[in-house]
Amino acid sequence: MYGDGICDLGNDKSSATWAFDDTNYSNTESSSRYDTFEQYCQFLNCFDETTQFQIHINTKPLSHTRIHLDIQAFETVSEELKQCVNEYNEFMHRRFISDSTYIQEKYVTVTVEESDYNLSQRRLGRIGIEKLALLHKLGCKTKMLDKPQRLTLLREIYRPDDLSEISYEQMIKSGVCDKDLIAPYSMDTSHDDYIKLGDYYTQTLFLTDFPSDITDSLIKDITTLDKRLLLTINVLPQNPGAAIKEVKDRLKSLDREKEDSLSRQVKMGIVDPKPPRDLKDVITGTENFLNDLKARNEKMFLANILIFVSAKSLEEMDSIVEAVEDKVAKSGCTIKPFTFAQEEGLDSVVPLGRNDTFIRRTFTTSSLAAFIPFNVVEIVHPGGLCYGRNKLSHNIILMDRKRYINAHGFYFGASGSGKTTGAELEMWECFFRTNDDMIIIDPEGGFTKLVNLLGGQVIEVSNAAKTRFNPFDINEYYGGEEDPNPIPFKSDFIISLIEVTLNYRDGIDPVARSVIDRCVRQVYQNYMKNPCEENIPTFLDFFTLLKEQPEPEAKYLASSLEIFIEGSLNIFAGKSNVNIHNRLICFNTKNLGKQLQVMGMSIIQDFCWNLISKNQALHKNTWLWNDEVHLSLRNQQTAEWLTNSWKRGRKYGLIATGMTQEVRDAARSEAGQAMIANSEFIMLYRQKKTEIESISQLMGLSEQQISDLQLCESGVGLFKAGNSIVEFNNRLDDHMKLFQYIQSDIKNKNTRPGDAVAG
């Protein structure tokens, strides 16, 4: 096997394997399923007779993956937090890490025949770009497996309990590579119908006795059994011209058989001879098959469907086989084990690109497409945050928002739907599973308890608060990539801040603008000579300089700003006295006076940009949650900042999230519409009937999904991630200590211990 994952199979054959994402199929309306079916037919038809391919669906227990759900608390944290962490880990184990929780992974393996590696590499590369692009149209992202990834996949079959990492570093250190890394510790092939690989009893089965009209849910029924199994569809496309000739020859043979049957009946004295019913049905089916190949966009394939099961005892293996038999029987099919050919079956079911079995059946494109591998979108990103359980497949949802082009998002949900609690659980997960900085803008004061529990810094922004926050805070990265000099950007912010604070509806006049810019440049002179915290100026320093300027406009500005610097609204006049270096900061603006709301929000947003630009230079991500985001969208300046952050934030490592009850609250303004357009993550909880039209336009939901959104329980809903829509259940038990810190509805205090509540 080469480093790029291409495997030399011998006899000039090479193969490569791609992982592909699932897409919504079984939970969509009939028209959508038809479109998906037709596009999958196009995918099958794009392969010619010079290639063969396999479709794999690998179902395995979550406990046998390298996904780690436990979170760790530092020894220095409070006992209260340690208790919350321990209870949360126990909850995750009960819910997800038991042997009853399974995940699915889907792959396609393509085999080509070329004389050397370079030719195989080029051809497989073209297949990955051209043919697998048809899966992209279905919403299925694909990724070619490299050598360590492909070896890991094969080892899951040969050595299921070996979860150690396969990497080039490990190969170099151990001197063990390729086959030695994945070969079973022992292999017993002395039995007729099963093989023992190490401690596991394994059996390869094949699907047979297909009915003329098979349901498209068969593959889903088998692979959602929550049993350890690997299902493989081996496909060998046939040359269209040769296929038609072969079917015609078959028809001629059947016609001769029919004539022979009629002739025998005449000799026996039968007055009205008729062909046997079975023969007549075969002829009719073959004629229809030929017509499909000639008139419709159908090709002919030789294919088989193999199922590989494994268990630690013969009894358990037999029970899995019985469960598969029950599912298959409902579709009118049967399964049989390979007898005296289990080794060939094993070689043909694993993702290597070989088909050494004698079982091959003829299919048209549409009949083969009935074994469609799609079910519902599954999102299981290693290292991702947990967003509960997939409501349809019951599998865990682990999502890494950083994987998407725009990681920004929104939480929408009616009051009591679990929206805020869901966002708090995302914060909890983010705190323990990443090292990123986190900022929360909290107009209602609802996140204070959780932030204090986590040891974060709550900054109460109000006239009565003792905390002080300096709008002149700056760092050398403030200008971002555009300009290494941060002062022009800070000057622009101070001009805008004074403009909104003093309510200049038509904008500050040019003279006043120049005066402010001059004072900003002068007040930062010491800082620019020696950039350190001690040299960062304050609003009071700026005010002192402003009063010294000779222009009348300066005198007017100074008089207007006096209340905010030396008067009763001077909360932003001095140096910051809070720990702004804490990785979790929450701005509580619940008690911020009306006269300071716009000014305060502008300063908070500037602080956010200060941190975002600094973290970009440090190659660090910044998460921002803005609750009641519609309040910031009402003011032009704060709305513009949000819009720019949503548009530019990706290259600065920003992951921004807005929260509000109704979609129309955010979509009412052009700024909100632009933010939604630049968000690939949208979380929807229970919605009012009046919001359904807005939701439907935003997400393109089915009638069933729309109905579910109006009736779903608290903590249940659906979300959009990229082009995928996933229905989720993220409810938490209220007896957990953590619930006391994330509950937002006072009515929840009346629930009984052990009740499931929004999470």
Q: Which pair of structure tokens corresponds to residue 247?
A: 């079917």
User: Which of 369, 394, 413 is the last residue in one of the domains?
Assistant: 369
Q: Which pair of structure tokens corresponds to residue 27?
A: 């939970």
Q: Per the domain annotation, does 562 fall within a domain?
A: yes
User: Which of 347, 369, 391 is the last residue in one of the domains?
Assistant: 369
Whether 414 and 498 map to the same domain: the answer is no
Whether 202 and 323 map to the same domain: the answer is yes
Q: Per the domain annotation, does 223 fall within a domain?
A: yes
Q: Per the domain annotation, does 433 fall within a domain?
A: yes
Whether 495 and 554 map to the same domain: the answer is yes
Closest CA to 471 of 524, 399, 514: 524
d(CA 705, CA 711): 10
- How big is the CA angle at 514 (ends 511 and 517), to the nearest 5 degrees? 150
Q: Per the domain annotation, does 291 fall within a domain?
A: no
**Tell me, what CATH number does 339's domain have?**
3.40.462
Whether 269 and 321 map to the same domain: the answer is no
- How big is the CA angle at 444 (ends 598 and 676), to the nearest 5 degrees? 70
d(CA 749, CA 65): 38
Whether 122 and 173 map to the same domain: the answer is yes
Whether 449 and 474 map to the same domain: the answer is no
3-state secondary structure of 268: coil
Whether 753 and 704 map to the same domain: the answer is yes
d(CA 677, CA 663): 13
- Helix ranges restricted to H, 535-648: 539-547, 552-565, 597-617, 629-632, 636-648
Q: Which amino acid is at 1?
A: M
Q: Which pair of structure tokens corresponds to residue 696?
A: 């439907």
User: Which of 543, 573, 603 is the last residue in one of the domains?
Assistant: 573
Whether 676 and 618 map to the same domain: the answer is yes
What is the DSSP code (8-state) at residue 477?
T
pLDDT tens sequence across 711-724: 888 899 999 888 88
d(CA 85, CA 671): 39
For residues 698 and 360, the answer to whether their CB atoms sit within 8 Å is no
Cα Rg, the chain, nearest whole Å: 33
For residues 298 and 365, the answer to whether their CB atoms sit within 8 Å is yes
Q: What is the pLDDT of residue 100?
A: 65
Q: Which pair of structure tokens corresponds to residue 133?
A: 């692009």
d(CA 103, CA 60): 6
In 10 A of CB 510, how many CB atoms? 9
- How big is the CA angle at 109 (ends 107 and 112), to the nearest 5 degrees? 165
d(CA 349, CA 234): 8
Whether 461 and 425 map to the same domain: the answer is yes
**Tell me, what CATH number does 431's domain have?**
3.40.50.300
Q: Could you say which residues of the chain have pLDDT below 50? A: 745-759
Q: Per the domain annotation, does 383 fall within a domain?
A: no
Looking at the structure of the chain, the number of domains it has is 4
Whether 735 and 636 map to the same domain: the answer is yes
Whether 219 and 317 map to the same domain: the answer is yes
Query: Residue 555's domain spans which residues?
Result: 470-573
Q: Is the pTM of this model over 0.95?
A: no
CA distances from 181 to 105, 150, 156 (A): 21, 11, 11
Whether 755 and 650 map to the same domain: the answer is yes
Q: Which pair of structure tokens corresponds to residue 189?
A: 């092939």
Question: What does residue 397 show for φ and ψ, rounded to 5 degrees?
Answer: -110, 115
Q: Per the domain annotation, does 326 fall within a domain?
A: yes
Q: Per the domain annotation, does 587 fall within a domain?
A: yes
3-state secondary structure of 353: coil
Q: Per the domain annotation, does 376 fall within a domain?
A: no
Q: Which pair of structure tokens corresponds to residue 160?
A: 């299921």
Q: What is the pLDDT of residue 98?
A: 58
